[in-house]
Amino acid sequence: MQQEKQLCIYCGTRPAIENEHVIGNVFYIQRPKKAITVPSCSACNRGRGDGGVRDLHLDEEYMRTILCMTEGCANHPVVIALLEGNIARSFRRRHRGLRQTVLRSIQRTERMSTDGVFQPYLSPFVRPDFSRFQRVLRKITKGLCYHIRENPLPSDYQVLVNPVIKQREVPILIEKLQAEGNPSEFQTADEYAVFKFMCRLGNDSRTEWLMRFYDWAVFHSWTLPRNETALGDTGMPMIHTSEIM
């Protein structure tokens, strides 16, 4: 009997003829030997299989660059090496589009004093395009679902992502996952400790994930049936402060 061909775990329609790195190589200085890979078609591996307007690696590069510019990630050795190497070269050479996109996202804001008076905040901050983060994190969530369960996420399920988790919210989310019988610590996905994750697995294909980059930035995603989500819902909070400080 002829063995049934493995389908891409992302699109579920095209043959999986390649292995795709769930965490993009742009998040590293060099490709990790310990990496999560999943069966993928060429289109999804190249980054247009989800119908996006640009290759996914451009959104991964954007997200990586923003994260490396945040104060919380600054002490991670991979971030230090990226800022001195790949990111510096990208800004100096061909990637003028990336440089201009990042520069356009730098703004100034006001900060309230202890007396309740708004004062000029002279240092710049970055207001990211979180829709680009969400696209990357949706792909990662699908990859992690397959990695843990060895089955792709069903097509009638949706991935929702909250990319604006505040640091004060992280202990609450960790406690929630731990209370439901999950590992007490983040699992490390590579030898450089660039990416770590925690998860909660439901009886069906419902899942919940915390994903940590560079030992600081944490994102929250979850999967549930499409018929339980409102049209256009992505997981982004209705009211949020979108600065990464």
Residue with tokens 């994190």: 137
Instruction: Give the model's confidence band at 24: pLDDT under 50 very low, under 70 low, under 90 confident, else very high.
Output: very high
Instruction: Please tell me the predicted confidence (pLDDT) of residue 243.
Output: 45
Instruction: Please tell me the predicted confidence (pLDDT) of residue 79.
Output: 96
- Which range (39-43, 119-123, 177-181) has the least confidence? 119-123
Q: Which has the closest alpha carbon to 22: 200, 183, 216, 194?
A: 194
Distance CA 23, CA 28 (A): 9
Please give the DSSP secondary-structure letter assigned to residue 6: P
Instruction: Please tell me the predicted confidence (pLDDT) of residue 32.
Output: 94
Instruction: Please tell me the predicted confidence (pLDDT) of residue 127.
Output: 75
- Which range (79-93, 104-118, 167-181, 227-241) has the least confidence? 104-118
Tokens of 209: 């994930």
84 and 92 Cβ atoms separated by less than 8 Å? no
Tens digits of residue pLDDT in 131-151: 999 999 999 999 999 999 999
Tens digits of residue pLDDT in 65-105: 999 988 899 999 999 999 998 888 777 665 556 666 666 66
Distance CA 200, CA 134 (A): 19
Residue 187 pLDDT more than 90? yes
Residue 35 pLDDT more than 90? yes
pTM of the model: 0.85
Instruction: Please tell me the predicted confidence (pLDDT) of residue 121.
Output: 52
Half-sphere exposure for 219 (CA within 13 Å, toward CB): 27
* φ and ψ at residue 47, rounded to 5 degrees: 105, 10
CB atoms within 10 A of CB 222: 18
Instruction: Give the model's confidence band at 179: pLDDT under 50 very low, under 70 low, under 90 confident, else very high.
Output: confident
Distances (CA, A) of 129 to 112, 229, 232, 237: 24, 23, 17, 14
Query: Across the strands, what pairs with 106?
Result: 126
